[in-house]
Amino acid sequence: MEVYVAHSHRDDTEEMMLLLVNYTLHSAAVLCMVALSLRLCYGFDRFYNFSLAGCFTLSSFVLQSALGTWGTSLFVGLSLSVAAAGGLGLGLEILVFGSLRNRGARPDVSMLVSIALSAIVVNIVAILWGDETRYFSSALSWKSTANWFALSSPLTLSMLGCWAGSLLLVGVWSEFSRSGTALRAMTSSLDLALPLGINISATARTVSVAAGIIAGIAGILAGADTSISPNMGFDAAMGGIVVAILARRLSVLRLAIAATFVGALYTAVGYFFRAEWANAGAFVLLLVVLGLRSCGKSARAGVLAE
C-alpha cells in the first residue's frame, strides 16, 4: 500500500512537472515571436508597435473561420490567416505609421496611436466574430495528455519549430540580405540612412509585413494551445513588450532567454497564485528591471537613450 502511494505521488509530481514545463515552453514560444515582431519595428521607429496585437488576433480568427465556417483545408486556412496578418501590418504601415514617421511624430505618441489601433482591431473582430471564446476545429486539436510524449506532441513541436524558425530566419535575413542590412543601418541612425541611399519606406514596409506575419503565426499557435478571443492579442502584446525590453536589442539569443524567463514567470505565477496575475507579475518584473537600468552605471552609460 505504501509503495502504491509513493508511486502515485511520484506520478502526480511527474505529471505536474511535465505540465509546467509544457506551459513554460508554449508561453515562451508565443512571447518570443511577439517580442521578435515588436523588436523588428522598434529598430527604426523607436516605439513598440502595439498594433501587432491586431495581427495576432486577426490571424487566429481568420484561421478559425477558414477551418470551421468556410471549410477550407488547413494549408489554405493557414495561408489566408498569414496573408491577413501580413496585410494588416502592411496596411497600417502605409496608412498610419509611415505617415506619422514622415511628419516627425514623437515615439511615445506613435506608440499611443498603435495602442488605439489595436483597440480598433479588437473591437472590429468582436463585432465580426462575437465576444465569446472560441476553439479551433479538430484539424488543429493537437493537444495530448500530460505524459512524456506531451513534450513531443504536434503542438509543442510546432511551437518550438516556429519559435526557432522565426528567430533563425530573422537572424539570417538581418545579417545577410540587402533589406536586412538596410534595416540595421536604419536602426543605427534613421537620419543617416537616407543620404546612404536606403529606401526607408520600402524597408519599413518589408519589416512591417514580416512583423505582422510573425505576430500572426504566434496568434495561431496561441489559439491552438488554448482558445481564441478578441482580447488575446492585447494580453500577448503586453507579455511581448516585457520580453522585448528585457532582451534589450534584436538578438536571437537574448530574445530566446528573455522569453523563456518570462514564460517560466507566467508558469510560476499561475501555479502559486492565479493565472490572472501573470501579466501583472511580468510587469512588476519589468518595472524592477527598468528601475535598476535607469539608475547607477546603466543610466550613465545611456543604455536607455532613444
Partner 1 sequence: MTELLIHIGIMVFVYAILAASLDLLFGYTGIVSLTHAAFCAVGAYTAALLATKFGAPFLIGLVGGMAGGSLVSLLVSLPSLRLPSSYCLVTTFAFQVIVFSILNNWVAVTGGPMGLPGIPQPVILGWRVDQPWEFLILAGTCAALALWVCTHIVRSPVGRALKAIREDEGTAVAMGKNVFEFKVMVFVLGAALAGLAGVIYAHYVSFVDPTSFTVMESIFILSIVIIGGAGSLWGPVVGAVVLVSLPELLRFVGMPSSVAANVRQILYGGALVACMLWRPQGLMGEFSFRKNENP
Contacting positions for partner 1 (CB under 8 A):
46-48, 96, 99-100, 103-109, 111-113, 115-117, 119-120, 123-124, 126-127, 238, 241, 245, 274, 276-277, 279-280, 283-284, 286-287, 290-291, 294-295, 299, 304-306
Q: How far is the CB of 47 from partner 1 (least distance, A)?
A: 5
Tell me whether residue 126 or residue 257 sits nearer to partner 1 (CB atom).
126
Tell me whether residue 3 or residue 305 sits nearer to partner 1 (CB atom).
305
Q: How far is the CB of 108 from partner 1 (least distance, A)?
A: 4
The C-alpha atoms of residue 267 and residue 224 are separated, in whole angstroms, by 18
**Residues β-bridged to residue 134:** 228
Tell me whether residue 126 or residue 160 sits nearer to partner 1 (CB atom).
126
All three cell numbers of 227: 482558445
Tell me whether residue 83 or residue 126 sits nearer to partner 1 (CB atom).
126
Q: How far is the CB of 123 from partner 1 (least distance, A)?
A: 4
Q: How far is the CB of 124 from partner 1 (least distance, A)?
A: 7
**Exposure string for 202-231, b = 16+ CB within 10 A, e = fewer:** ebbbbbbbbbbbbbbbbbbbbbbbeebbbe
**Residues β-bridged to residue 228:** 134
What residues have CB less than 8 Å from 77, skipping those under 6 apart?
62, 63, 66, 67, 70, 139
With 0-12 CB in 10 A as exposed, 13-18 as middle and 19+ as buried, what is 24? buried
Q: How far is the CB of 204 from partner 1 (least distance, A)?
A: 16
The C-alpha R_g of the chain, in whole angstroms, comes to 20
Tell me whether residue 157 or residue 194 sits nearer to partner 1 (CB atom).
194
